Structure 1
Amino acid sequence: MAVAGCTAIMCATALLAFTGPWADGGPPTGSGDLPVLARANGVDLGVAVAVDPLLGDGGYRDVVGGHYTSVTAENTMKWDHVQPERGVFDWSGPDAMVDFAEAHGMNARGHTLLWHNQQPEWLSRGEWTSAELRGVLREHMEALMGRYQGRIGAWDVINEPFEDGEPFLRENLWHQVLGEDYIAEALRMAHEVDPGARLYINEFNIEGGGAKTDALYALAADLLDRGVPLHGIGFQGHFVHGQVPGNLAETMNRFTDLGLEVTVTELDVRIAEPVSEQAVRDQREEFRHVVAACLEVPDCRGVTVWGVSDAHSWIPEWFPGYDAATPFDEDYSPKPALWGMVDALSREPSGRSAGRTPRGRRRERTPAP
């Protein structure tokens, strides 16, 4: 179904007419047109994709192309995939993702340029001087960002710069060799390579506030005060069922008050095994809440789900004893979580467009609490 030029409320009406009645509060019989609803609200609804199923699995491709407006590279743009040997680049995966996005009228997000994980051995075990590592980083950015300049609109330049549970910068390769100001250096370098791209710091466990959130806020404020080209903060959103923070919109607003945009970049909600039917039903409200929180924040650019289906989710491997974290089950059937996102997008927020700040303009900062 496609409903061109409709408002969110009109789209929702058309969606319900298309999908049929909801029996006993359950999902409708069809999946409707989520991209229309997302675009009517002025946000992206994205999904992280893997290359092999994107190329070879028709059901996977149908979910991606039929329900989302943007794609993020789940792994294929990370260092160990795209530059397994120094100066040897594998463009097959990134090309496939970006080509798919363009063929389906979708946006593409780059992930990620600096991270402490998934580094090839030649990089992680190298003995680098600061000048040498800067050269390596520039080579990588010029190759990767340069290849997709004008085709990828936003990049997670810095991924997870803080310690997992602490408000301190992580002692990663970049910090150890380049020093504490490596983040500013990398952002400036990325901006030089692609001046039109939106540049993000992407972090987890910041969604509900706390010391780590405060530390990231202080870092972002300092970077902006120094004129560093930082445009947004990515709130990853890897949640546990029953623990999705109620103050997500408030926390995002702290950063947009700095003049930044925000995005929920890696949303999933994992459920403890054995996964009950009630937990899956309750998960609907959690996905609704996250999308609704984004809609409450004028400078929230969208929400990206991390993983196309439960069969392709990273959760069971990385969090043993948890599963069912995405809006589609292992057979690509929609779960109540999908309809939670429909719920949120079907309610057009008042004043959203009026509340946007033009890109590049700084707001007066609200002091950190």
Structure 2
Amino acid sequence: MKKILLSCVVLALIATASCKKSSETPKLIPIPPVEIPPVISNKKLIEVADFKIGAAVKVASLQGDASFASTVKSEYNQITAEYEMKMNFIWTADNVYDFSKVDYLINFAQQNNLAVHGHALLWYQSFPDWLKNAGLDSVAFENKVKTYIQTYVGRYKGKVRSWDVANEIFNDDGTLRVESQIQGRFKDPIGFVGRCFKYAHDADPDAKLFYNDYNVVLASGKRTAMKNMAIRFKKAGVQIDGLGEQFHYRISTSQSQINSGFADLASSGLLIHISEADCKVNVNDSPAYVLNDVDKQKQSDFFKNIAKLYNALPANQKFAITTWGVTDKSTWLRNSTNGNKEYPLLFDENYNKKPAYTGFLAGLN
């Protein structure tokens, strides 16, 4: 390319010199700009990343949407159930479990060489009604939960790579979430959560165990509470392997704030899981919103930034980046206010790769 440009310059100088000899005003011959085509990579996400690339999935989508299943098998190497591995979908009555959806998901994963991240054993919104209404004291309640965890984790021992043992127990300021089943029942809720980590570890000693929450990189109080809990567990001999940050953010979220919060989270030294990533473009939830190129680029920059952040982690802290869904047409955000005007993922409604995919791939590189 340099040789071509140099030749053009030489020709221009020769032409100019000829004009001088004939006493004419020198004329500069314009050199047209050289268009450099963009580098297009045919590599897939899982071919570039040195850690797992995960997606949240629904069994109905795996069964009934061939394009969904094909994209999962092609672009991802880890899956998480969007909701079908949560307690209220499995524990239908005392000593009664419905594992049919989980069995399907596990079999799909094994047939297609996909890892499985279990989500989630404890979540305040997933306790089944029969358990909440059983009138149990703290000892009886914990015994029930212990049996559930050990039955569940033990059933999939060696088949589920990792578990979110607990999900969303802290407020943004670091205080415990006020809810009836854990915070409202135990004098030491963190102690109860720690024992649940132990029950999961006893059922499958090889599984990686995580605490998962949202808004972590923006809320310093929540980060501090999570790190302090991990320190407490470690001192007590309770296994906790990693921390999950959901990464449900917007194109308007400050990248510098994300970066500094992420660095603070990583200072825990534990495995870090970007566990539920998506990026809202319709930041005002407007029913009149129209997806545009400017917002597509902002979303691309968001995904590129988080991939670069994650790549910069020490190798022993990299676990996975999981997007919360695969295609815009089935994102959980479309069930929220004006959600039909939301486009938060890497693939559009027709499974075409969006600029967000390109940005994410570039960040992984």
Same fold, judged at TM 0.5 (above): yes
Aligned counterparts of 1:104 and 1:326: Cα–Cα separation in 2: 23
TM-aligned CA distance change 1:84 to 1:48, over 3 Å: same
TM-aligned CA distance change 1:23 to 1:301, over 3 Å: farther
What is the CA distance between 1:246 and its match in structure 2? 2.7
Indicate if the aligned counterparts of 1:115 and 1:159 stay in contact, CA closer than 8 A. yes
Partner residue of 2:330 out of 308, 312, 325: 312
What is the CA distance between 1:282 and its match in structure 2? 2.0
Unaligned runs of 5+ in 2: 1-34
Q: Equivalences for 1:137-286 in 2 at 5 Å?
A: 137-163=145-171, 165-172=172-179, 173-179=181-187, 180=189, 181-248=191-258, 250-272=260-282, 273=286, 274=289, 275-286=291-302
Q: TM-score, normalised by structure 1?
A: 0.81
TM-aligned CA distance change 1:211 to 1:245, over 3 Å: farther
What is the CA distance between 1:319 and its match in structure 2? 4.8
Identity among equivalent pairs (%): 26
Partner residue of 1:45 out of 38, 43, 53: 53
Indicate if the aligned counterparts of 1:309 and 1:326 stay in contact, CA closer than 8 A. yes
TM-aligned CA distance change 1:198 to 1:24, over 3 Å: same
- Amino acid aligned to 1:166: D
Instruction: Give the 3-state SS of the residue equivalent to 1:177 in structure 2.
Output: coil
What is the CA distance between 1:235 and its match in structure 2? 0.6
Partner residue of 1:33 out of 44, 59, 73: 44
Aligned counterparts of 1:137 and 1:245: Cα–Cα separation in 2: 39
TM-aligned CA distance change 1:182 to 1:319, over 3 Å: farther
**How many residues are aligned here?**
319
- Amino acid aligned to 2:83: N
Unaligned runs of 5+ in 1: 1-21, 347-369
What is the CA distance between 1:87 and its match in structure 2? 2.0
Aligned counterparts of 1:68 and 1:282: Cα–Cα separation in 2: 23
2:89 paired with 1:81: yes
Aligned counterparts of 2:236 and 2:336: Cα–Cα separation in 1: 38
Q: TM-score, normalised by structure 2?
A: 0.82
Instruction: Give the 3-state SS of the residue equivalent to 1:246 in structure 2.
Output: helix
Aligned counterparts of 1:23 and 1:80: Cα–Cα separation in 2: 55
Indicate if the aligned counterparts of 2:120 and 2:165 stay in contact, CA closer than 8 A. yes
Q: Residue 301 of structure 1 aligns with which residue?
A: 319
Aligned counterparts of 2:359 and 2:337: Cα–Cα separation in 1: 24
What is the CA distance between 1:208 and its match in structure 2? 3.1
Aligned counterparts of 2:318 and 2:336: Cα–Cα separation in 1: 28
> Which structure has the greater CA radius of gyration?
2
Let me know the Cα RMSD of the aligned residues: 2.2
Partner residue of 1:93 out of 91, 101, 115: 101
What is the CA distance between 1:304 and its match in structure 2? 0.2
Q: Equivalences for 1:335-354 in 2 at 5 Å?
A: 335-346=354-365
Instruction: Give the 3-state SS of the residue equivalent to 1:251 in structure 2.
Output: helix
